[in-house]
Amino acid sequence: MIKKILNTSFLLSFFIFIFIIGKYYISEKNIILINKQRSTTAFNKSIDIEKLPLLVNDTKNIIEYKDDLEEFNKKRKKRFWEKLISNTNE
């Protein structure tokens, strides 16, 4: 009997806790505070972004393209069954 009372009281306290938290987060006061904080943060970030220096692009012609596949095919030894399958006369 005591176990059922304890379980019921734990369950009731859990639901009361969830109700109070939900009521606080949905309240107008909290919504106004959240919107003020978001607008202040957005304004501060826009000011900080304007202060950032613009860096010059120095990444032109850095990538060197190689045709390693053709070099590999030239160096590789042809196998007998590859010669049978190929269409070219080698």
Q: Which two tokens stand for residue 4?
A: 């059922």
Residue 88 has pLDDT above 70, yes or no: no
pLDDT over threshold 80, residue 49: yes
> CA of 44: how far to CAs of 35, 36, 41, 89, in Å?
14, 12, 5, 72
What's the token pair of residue 77? 């030894």
Cα–Cα distance for residue pair 50/48, rounded to 1 Å: 5
Better-predicted residue by pLDDT, 66 or 53: 53
Mean pLDDT of the chain: 86
Is the whole model's pTM more than 0.85, yes or no?
no
| pLDDT level of residue 89 (50, 70, 90 thresholds) | low
